[in-house]
């Protein structure tokens, strides 16, 4: 019995790598990293084995959001080993590769190679790998499309026209690389005044859904602008890890990704 099992195991095909899902945006600062971390935590709560590659060369913030800053990934057989986080999300970040506070003044090809190292790592046991891309449509995105074929891309934008135009450009890049756009997420959508409760829309509202409708891309939902979401990120405990009402919109988007 045992010998046969061992032989069969020897001949088993290599485990397929995790499903890659790219999270992109046209602009920086629209909440791509915040969304990536919260989606990972929400998907993990749905029972998925999720990891994150933080490929945002310009501002690698996942080690802060997921609270595993200062840890260095080890290498085994010339490949990096993802660093665990307290929220059960293993992570490899551009931020892990440099000293804190040192700017990543890397040229495109170097950044692309660094990202490739983060993806081509020991992700055994991870089912879904979310890639937090740098904003825009630069070399890292092109490396992503030429070297790795993500199963799909999620694009995040604020409802502001200027952000949306850039988001459309990011969507077009994935489209031209034959990567299906899973959908658009509207972040910073509506703000409830903590003192009077009145809801206002600093960046407008509904623009992302309208853009999704116009282009036939699915609309995955809106995340409000909320102080709690920002403080939760800064404190290393993403909102989706808790049961506050801020967690709900992230879980709603994650459910659609899980299906």
Q: Does 30 bind ligand ADP (CB under 6 A)?
A: yes
Site for ligand ADP in 58-77 (CB under 6 A): 59, 61
The single-letter DSSP state of residue 50 is E
Q: Does 226 bind ligand ADP (CB under 6 A)?
A: yes
108 is in an annotated binding site: no
- Nearer to ligand ADP by C-beta: 75 or 173? 173
- Nearer to ligand ADP by C-beta: 61 or 160? 61
CA distances, 108 to each of 125, 138, 215 (Å)? 30, 8, 30
**CB of 183 closer than 8 Å to CB of 220:** yes
Q: Does 28 bind ligand ADP (CB under 6 A)?
A: yes
Q: Where are the alpha helices (DSSP H) in the chain?
A: 2-11, 32-45, 62-65, 94-97, 108-119, 139-147, 161-176, 207-215, 227-234, 247-258
Part of the chain binding ligand ADP (CB under 6 A), chosen from 25-33, 46-54, 67-75, 167-175: 25-33
Kindly tell me which residue out of 21, 130, 133, 223 binds ligand ADP, with binding defined by CB under 6 A.
Answer: 223
Kindly tell me which residue out of 39, 91, 118, 225 binds ligand ADP, with binding defined by CB under 6 A.
Answer: 225
CA distances, 21 to each of 100, 131, 137, 221, 233 (Å)? 27, 6, 16, 17, 21
Least separation, in Å, of the C-beta of 164 and ligand ADP? 14
Torsion over CA of 203, 209, 211 and 216, rounded to 10 degrees?
160
Q: Does 187 bind ligand ADP (CB under 6 A)?
A: yes
Least separation, in Å, of the C-beta of 234 and ligand ADP? 6
Torsion over CA of 223, 128, 58 and 80, rounded to 10 degrees?
150
Binding residues: 26-33
Interface residues with ligand ADP (CB under 6 A)? 25, 28-34, 59, 61, 187-188, 223, 225-226, 229-230, 233
Q: Give the annotated binding-site residues for ATP.
A: 26-33
């Amino acid at each position: 019995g045992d010998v046969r099992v061992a032989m069969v195991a020897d001949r088993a095909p290599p485990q397929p790598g995790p499903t890659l899902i790219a999270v992109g945006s046209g602009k920086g600062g629209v909440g791509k990293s915040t969304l990536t971390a919260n989606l990972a935590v929400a998907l993990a709560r749905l029972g998925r084995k999720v990891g994150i590659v933080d490929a945002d060369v310009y501002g690698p913030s996942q080690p802060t959001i997921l609270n595993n800053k200062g840890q260095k990934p080890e290498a085994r057989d010339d490949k990096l080993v993802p660093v665990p986080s307290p929220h059960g999300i293993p992570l490899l970040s551009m931020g892990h590769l440099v000293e804190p506070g040192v700017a990543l003044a890397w040229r495109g090809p170097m950044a692309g190679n660094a990202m490739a190292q983060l993806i081509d790592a020991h992700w055994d046991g991870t089912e879904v790998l979310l890639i937090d891309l740098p904003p825009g449509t630069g070399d890292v995105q092109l490396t992503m499309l030429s070297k790795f074929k993500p199963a799909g891309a999620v694009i995040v934008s604020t409802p502001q026209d200027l952000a949306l135009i850039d988001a459309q450009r990011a969507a077009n890049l994935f489209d031209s690389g034959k990567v299906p756009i899973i959908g658009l997420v509207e972040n910073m959508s509506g703000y409830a005044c903590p003192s009077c409760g009145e809801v206002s829309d600093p960046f407008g509202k509904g623009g992302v859904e309208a853009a999704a409708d116009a282009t036939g891309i699915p609309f995955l939902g809106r995340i409000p602008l909320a102080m709690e979401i920002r403080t939760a990120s800064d404190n290393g405990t993403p909102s989706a890890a808790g049961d506050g009402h801020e967690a709900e919109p992230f879980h709603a988007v994650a459910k659609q990704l899980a299906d």
